[in-house]
Structure 1
Amino acid sequence: MKVGPGQGRKVCLTVTGVVIALVLLIVILALTVFKAKHPVTTVDSTKLEDFHVSLDIAKLRVDLNVTLRTDVSVMNPNKVGFKYSDSIAHLNYRGQLIGEVPLPAGEISSGETKGFNLTLTIMADRLLSNSQLFSDVTSGTLPLNTFVRISGKVSILGFIKVHVLSSTSCDLVINLSNRTVGNQECQYKTKL
């Protein structure tokens, strides 16, 4: 079958039009339906699991053993899964790292909320070296901060990969008299 010059041009224009339409459709879907959204990291609760304190007034020394149970959830609002790498949750006292727990790599499916139950044990030697600890213990409160950062990628349409970093920082106070956690305030940040 012989194709004339006019028919070849029509076939070429039709194929080009279909390819352009498909590219536009993919771009529109990537910018609307499949647009990468921020995963939301939330500290659901913080409980004092183990707490022992003794005060030696003669030596101005505090012996302390504290374990916090923190429940964190990460919600993936994207239409595709979110793969995250190994991470670490930190426990801080007045800006100083005093405890940490690893978060193993994993994946959160589309629309899923994944919970993490973290047990943070305080590194007593780091805490006891802080000069403000004695005054905090005698006042009856211990100010702490939990920090969780999760880094990963969202894959859109299988070939567009968007790097995502979600973090949560919560300031809280342990009331030493009744061994409860109070005054918890959290800040959430996400970067795409």
Structure 2
Amino acid sequence: MSDFSIKPDDKKEEEKPATAMLPPPKPNASSMETQSANTGTAKKLRRKRNCKICICFTILLILLIAIVIVILAFTLFKPKRPTTTIDSVTVDRLQASVNPLLLKVLLNLTLNVDLSLKNPNRIGFSYDSSSALLNYRGQVIGEAPLPANRIAARKTVPLNITLTLMADRLLSETQLLSDVMAGVIPLNTFVKVTGKVTVLKIFKIKVQSSSSCDLSISVSNRNVTSQHCKYSTKL
């Protein structure tokens, strides 16, 4: 029989115990809370950043719209001055007689005045009610109502006004006798229109347009011998 011998190294290998498999360590509760808090903070920061971006975008959009509106208001829709023009003045009735004993004048006078109200704007022009005035040497001796109305964009509205002399207004005029004896009566017609031009339904601009005409009325021919007019418009 052959001898069977065990080497010391082999013996040690046989006696070495097997290494046990350990389970993975469980996560710490405090680390989980820290990780959750970091995630929540990041989400809040993202929300705040998105909110700021949205607010900035909205403000920029509003500013852009406002700039466009202002540019349109003062370029394409820039308000222009409506004009009031007296096209003609004719004598409808004229009766003048002189009382030499009392040195007084009996005068009946009616004038027909043709007006034109022109709106050169791209938008409508609304004006308030007013009156056309007939003046003699700075004193109002007759008037006619001018009702409120609206003129469409780039339109001209013709108006006809009848001015009748109020005889009682001339009782204190001492110069009338000399004017009638000279055959010429100096008169003045005055019309003022006040209204508003609304640009883009936002900007309301007040407009005032007036016309003043100096007339010379022939007593013998019963007509207008001269007419000189001045026009004024204010924004």
Normalising TM by the smaller chain, what interval?
Answer: over 0.9
Higher share of residues assigned strand: 1
Query: How far is 1:121 from its partner?
Result: 0.3
Query: How far is 1:83 from its partner?
Result: 0.9
2:203 counterpart of 1:188 = no
Query: How far is 1:77 from its partner?
Result: 0.8
1:174 aligns with one of 190, 197, 217: 217
Instruction: Please state whether the residue corresponding to 1:15 is helix, strand or coil.
Output: helix
2:159 counterpart of 1:145 = no
Listed as ranges, the gaps of 5+ residues in structure 2 are 1-42
Provide the residue aligned with 1:136 in structure 2: 179
Listed as ranges, the gaps of 5+ residues in structure 1 are none
The residue identity in structure 1 corresponding to 2:230 is: Q
Partners of 1:81 and 1:110 within 8 A in 2: yes
Provide the residue aligned with 2:202 in structure 1: 159
Provide the residue aligned with 1:110 in structure 2: 153
Query: How far is 1:115 from its partner?
Result: 1.4
CA distance in structure 1 between the partners assigned to 2:100 and 2:133 by the alignment: 30
Provide the residue aligned with 2:99 in structure 1: 56
2:134 counterpart of 1:91 = yes
Query: How far is 1:113 from its partner?
Result: 0.7
Query: How far is 1:17 from its partner?
Result: 2.9
Query: How far is 1:9 from its partner?
Result: 5.1
CA distance in structure 1 between the partners assigned to 2:186 and 2:59 by the alignment: 65
Query: How far is 1:11 from its partner?
Result: 4.2
Give the TM-score, by structure 2 length: 0.76
Provide the residue aligned with 1:120 in structure 2: 163
Give the TM-score, by structure 1 length: 0.93
- Larger RCO (CA under 8 A, 6+ residues apart): 1
Provide the residue aligned with 1:82 in structure 2: 125
Query: How far is 1:190 from its partner?
Result: 1.2
Which is higher, the Rg of structure 1 or of structure 2?
2
CA distance in structure 1 between the partners assigned to 2:90 and 2:146 by the alignment: 19
Instruction: Please state whether the residue corresponding to 2:58 is helix, strand or coil.
Output: helix
Higher share of residues assigned helix: 2
Provide the residue aligned with 1:30 in structure 2: 73
The residue identity in structure 1 corresponding to 2:209 is: S
**Count of residues in correspondence between the two structures:** 191
**Percent identity of the aligned residues?**
49
Query: How far is 1:8 from its partner?
Result: 5.2
Provide the residue aligned with 1:41 in structure 2: 84
